[in-house]
Structure 1
Amino acid sequence: MTQAPPKFEIFVVTAPGLEKPLAAEMREAGFKKPKMMPGGVRFRGNWNDVMRANLTLRGAIRVLARVGSFQTMHLNQLEGLTSDLPWLSFLDRDVAVKVEVVTQQSKIYHAGAAKERIEKGLRAAIDIPTSDDAPVTLKTRIDNNMVTFSLDTSGESLHKRGFKAAVAKAPLRETMAAMFLRQMGFDGSQTVVDPMCGSGTFVIEAAEMAAGLLPGRERGFAFQHLATFDAEAWAEMRSTTAQPTDARFYGSDKDAGAVRMSGDNAVRSGVAELCQFAQTSVGDLVPPEGAPGIVIVNPPYGSRIGDKKPLFALHATLGRTLKERFAGWQVGLVTSDSGLAKSTGLPLKAEFAPVAHGGLTVKLHSCTL
């Protein structure tokens, strides 16, 4: 009888405020007993689960594998206790490691000194090189004198799907767009319209979700540099194909450059045939043919782009256009300013948790017309 692979704690990081939709996504994907924590969701799994989480979860920013912990209050013990851990179970001694340390409420309070001792412990244990530009990062948290080691198995943030060469000003991250679509009840079958599409994030995410395209299908990950990497299992896991869909997705923007950018990004993502982009002002927006679907928009907030006063008129125009032409549609509006949401004149409610985004706190406001 084949023994099941050992399980360990895995922490899936997301933007604060999106823990609930990420946990729902994980349950649907078959990850066992996900538990929400501040800033993410944890569960117990194995290295195949690590690969699958990186490959498939649209709301994940990164995936951390907890590989060791111990308690100490003395800096001079840190090196020895570090060297005692079974590092060759996870690390390849030919691949350099970057060590990061965060410490709080602990006797070991100097992160730089702790980093030096941990690096010495790694060299003493397995003679592994350490470097600040290494492909693998060992994240160390020293909290209340408990030292916890986690391997960052993702590398670059998972919102970087590997397709978007061009982005608009203050872009909404793909991970956030996917979770906002989920909160709007998007299941892949509804038409989605974004009247201020920027670089096309909402439209492209919706099209990929409808086609069953995995978000990490073409990018690389840090776990590929670990001793635990199973290339055969990974190749099988990635070997999925797009599924047919009748749904279509529409983006528009008054800026011709944004429309070109969105179209190019859709081509690189492999969903161009499902998407349509047009240069259209908000006041000229008309619904596509077919049943009502979802209008979702991330308009300028005024906090970072331009003056806020003209934005009230823009939001009022958006609200008037939607009320007149989009009866029966669901509307989702992302903003950091509830006053701007109110200026649409739509019966928008902020029923979901606020989300940290680029130094701001934004909320998804929604209603049905």
Structure 2
Amino acid sequence: MTEAWHRQTNRRRGVIQGIAVLPQGLEEIGAEELVNLGAKQVQPLRRAAAFEADMACLYRLHLQCRYPFRFLREVARFPCHDRESLYFGIQNALEWERWLHPSMSFRVDVSGSNPGLSHSHYTALQVKNAVVDLQRNLWGERSSIDLDEPDLSLHVHLSRQEARLSLDGSGGSLHRRGYRSAMGLAPLKENLAAGLVRLSGWDGSIPLVDPLCGSGTLLIEAASWALSQAPGLHRSFALEGWADFNAELWEEEQRRAQAREQPTRTLPILLGCEQNPDVVEQARHNVQAAGLSGAITIQAGDFRALELPSGPGVLVCNPPYGERIGERDELEQLYSDLGAMVKERCSGWSLWLLSGNPELTGALRMKASRRVPVSNGGIDCRWLHYEIR
């Protein structure tokens, strides 16, 4: 049987082919999360994971997944090798009269290329033209383009032989949880922060401390995971405007996500330290907005004077690494002092540090036992693990 036959059969059975777009470095744990939430045929890819799901599972993934930026639902594949085949392929790919009335707005994103379509901007323009020309033929008017809050988000992926048309159900990146209106100078995206905590192995049973906590994102994502808070439960999604949106099924998945939460679970100490008074207030505001004031303490002051909880624990931090903030000499001193502090006072703990500058990390005078490559805002980084003895 051909792959095309399997896809057609799956569509008749209500099986959705999907892609979860992930931060680089989180592909494996992202795929694991998809499996745990009921997705099938999960396959890690580069900065993504492919999966199959029914509609209930797709809703569940949007509500409960912590690591993806967005989910793409494939709705059509067709042969594509030039502008003409793309144009007519798009027009026949979807029941546009059902999915996109001229009163609705849309946007087009493109990834990949083929020899006849090598420039993403012109490819997106051709997709847009195919849609609005069809609309003019149907209604005598066309939809507008909205890059910020479109009613329907289209994604076209090109390969050498074909094009895939997908719908983006997210309606804005899923890393935006809604709690972080206040951010520091170099904010860590929430989904990457959640993944870094997961990679640290922290299981919610021992203290977690961020000695350079900034706006508090690592601690907030850790507490949210430990209490099983669904990241998408209090935000809206583009899929709620899809032509085949099932409100009853959506509400059922919302109830399911809410039932998983453990608001009364007792957590160990989660402590953040920040020297900048303005950033301290930002962090406390974010903790409160996330509903976690009872779980996380943000302490004002210098990490060099930080009093740690007794017993073993985990330190996590994302110190500045010179790409955005901080002067070189000051940063070398900061890393040196951080290394000295943890070696002197954190015996039996483990340290996980996000490094975007190996020279600065060298000032710790410590040897990492594990190095996980990740990308933070386009910067090639390493999530470094140090065992403190």
Alignment TM-score, normalising by the size of structure 2: 0.87
1:241-275 CA deviation, whole Å, 9 max, x = no partner?
53122213111111111111111111111111001
- The separation in 2 between residues aligned to 1:126 and 1:87, in whole angstroms, is 12
Shift of 1:8: 2.3
Partner residue of 1:161?
A: 177
Shift of 1:282: 1.7
Q: Which of 94, 110, 114 is 1:101 aligned to?
A: 110
1:297 aligns with 2:317: yes
Shift of 1:129: 4.3
Which has the higher mean CA deviation after the structures are superposed, 258-267 or 130-139?
A: 130-139
Structure-to-structure mapping, 1:185-200, within 5 angstroms: 185-200=201-216
- The separation in 2 between residues aligned to 1:99 and 1:351, in whole angstroms, is 37
1:114 aligns with 2:126: yes
1:304-348 CA deviation, whole Å, 9 max, x = no partner?
112122111111111111112111112100011122222212332
Partner residue of 2:164?
A: 148
- The separation in 2 between residues aligned to 1:61 and 1:125, in whole angstroms, is 35
Which has the higher mean CA deviation after the structures are superposed, 106-115 or 151-160?
A: 106-115
1:364 aligns with 2:383: yes
Shift of 1:298: 0.2
Which has the higher mean CA deviation after the structures are superposed, 234-243 or 85-94?
A: 85-94
1:251 aligns with 2:272: yes
What is the SS of the residue equivalent to 2:304?
helix
User: Structure 2 regions of 5+ residues with no counterpart?
Assistant: 1-10
Structure-to-structure mapping, 1:204-215, within 5 angstroms: 204-215=220-231
- The separation in 1 between residues aligned to 2:124 and 2:359, in whole angstroms, is 44
- The separation in 2 between residues aligned to 1:138 and 1:112, in whole angstroms, is 10
Q: Which of 36, 43, 47 is 2:51 aligned to?
A: 43
Q: Which of 245, 257, 263 is 2:284 aligned to?
A: 263
Shift of 1:292: 1.6
Shift of 1:143: 2.3
Partner residue of 1:310?
A: 330
Equivalent position amino acid for 1:279 in 2: A
Alignment TM-score, normalising by the size of structure 1: 0.92
Which has the higher mean CA deviation after the structures are superposed, 52-61 or 128-137?
A: 128-137
Q: Which of 144, 147, 152 is 1:131 aligned to?
A: 144
- The separation in 1 between residues aligned to 2:349 and 2:280, in whole angstroms, is 23
1:82 aligns with 2:82: no
Partner residue of 1:335?
A: 355
- Number of matched pairs: 365
Identity of aligned residues (%): 28
User: Structure 1 regions of 5+ residues with no counterpart?
Assistant: none
What is the SS of the residue equivalent to 1:303?
coil
Partner residue of 2:7?
A: none
Structure-to-structure mapping, 1:219-258, within 5 angstroms: 219-239=235-255, 240=258, 242-243=261-262, 244-247=264-267, 248-258=269-279
Give the aligned CA root-mean-square deviation in angstroms.
2.3
The answer to whether the Cα contact below 8 Å between 2:56 and 2:253 also exists between their aligned partners in 1 is: no
Shift of 1:122: 4.8
The answer to whether the Cα contact below 8 Å between 1:103 and 1:141 also exists between their aligned partners in 2 is: yes
- The separation in 1 between residues aligned to 2:163 and 2:317, in whole angstroms, is 43
Equivalent position amino acid for 1:85 in 2: A
1:273 aligns with 2:273: no
